[in-house]
Structure 1
Amino acid sequence: MSRTKVFVPDVAEAGPELWSNAIRAGDMLFISGQVARPFEGGTQLVGKDEYEQTRQIFSRIDRIIRAAGGTMDNLVKMTIYLVDIRNNTEVWRARREFFTGDFPASTLVEVRSLAKPEVLVEIEAVAYLGGS
């Protein structure tokens, strides 16, 4: 099975030798945990609450999947890390803007903290890009 890094021209990655935004292995696409960074990169975040950050994260994931030849409908599994589980409804509110029909399988985990204090949400995902 081939394993290749997905080049996403409009979503910046972390520095060299840290991680890849996405790796395609056969028909599977594995998307690293995404936080609400701007598409062009940098250390600032887009959004000051869970809803705004989740919208930015799903926009990043959408761009990554499209670069690999798929759509959000190809997502089959997500793991969502949330600093304050009491705000999960804000994550679900943003999620409904990106998905219709059957949502991907999903796990929600409350964590003590993420990479920086202002990061409230991180989402990793897996997509199936093969035929039906």
Structure 2
Amino acid sequence: MKKMICKTAFVCCLALLCLAVDVIGQDNDIKKEKFNWGRGTQDTTAGYAQAVKIDNVIYISGTVARNVNPEGIKQVYEALEKTLQHYGATFQNVVKENLYTTDMEAMKQYNQVRKAFYKGDFPAATWMQVNRLYMHDARLEIELIAYLPKK
């Protein structure tokens, strides 16, 4: 029984070693295209990028509003729309939306503002109510992942 366990462990270790050698041998240089509104794309003082594009996927950082009301929600989606437009994308390219709010009931009440931007083509979405966001006075934060068709 011990020999069988040792042999199985050896085979597993050998398989992992082969996998590691294969991964190390690949070209793992990730080409990131970063974007920040109002700052050069090489500016690192903010500590984050508004968006990062890798291949044909765009990752958009959380965009915030101070109020969960129609104006605040519209403001967030308009800012997200500008970032999408920078890459030639629209909300129809969005495949994932993460929404964080300190007032879920207000967000549900004014969801029609959000729906107008998607025009019926809704992404996978996760909505969470949180106690607080990074900016102490922010009440809503939304991040997106968008996919651009390969040319």
User: Which TM-score band applies after superposition, normalised by the shorter structure?
Assistant: 0.7 to 0.9
Question: Are the structure 2 counterparts of residues 93 and 101 from structure 1 closer, same or farther at C-alpha, using a change threshold of 3 Å?
Answer: closer
Gaps of 5+ in 1: 37-44
Moved over 2 A (4+): 6-10, 48-51, 115-118
More helix by share: 2
Q: TM-score, normalised by structure 1?
A: 0.78
The 5 A counterparts of 1:9-48 are 16-36=45-65, 48=67
Matched, 1:122 2:141: yes
Higher relative contact order (CA 8 A, sep 6+): 1
Q: TM-score, normalised by structure 2?
A: 0.69
119, 128, 142: which one aligns with 1:109:
128
Give the share of equivalent positions with the same residue, in percent. 27
Q: Please say which of residues 64-73 and 84-93 is displaced more in the overlay.
A: 84-93
Q: CA RMSD in A?
A: 2.4
Is the 8 Å Cα contact of residues 68 and 103 (structure 2) preserved in structure 1?
no
SS at match of 1:59: helix
Match of 2:32 in 1: 3
Gaps of 5+ in 2: 1-29
Match of 1:50 in 2: 69
Higher-Rg member (1/2): 2
Matched, 1:93 2:112: yes
Aligned length: 119
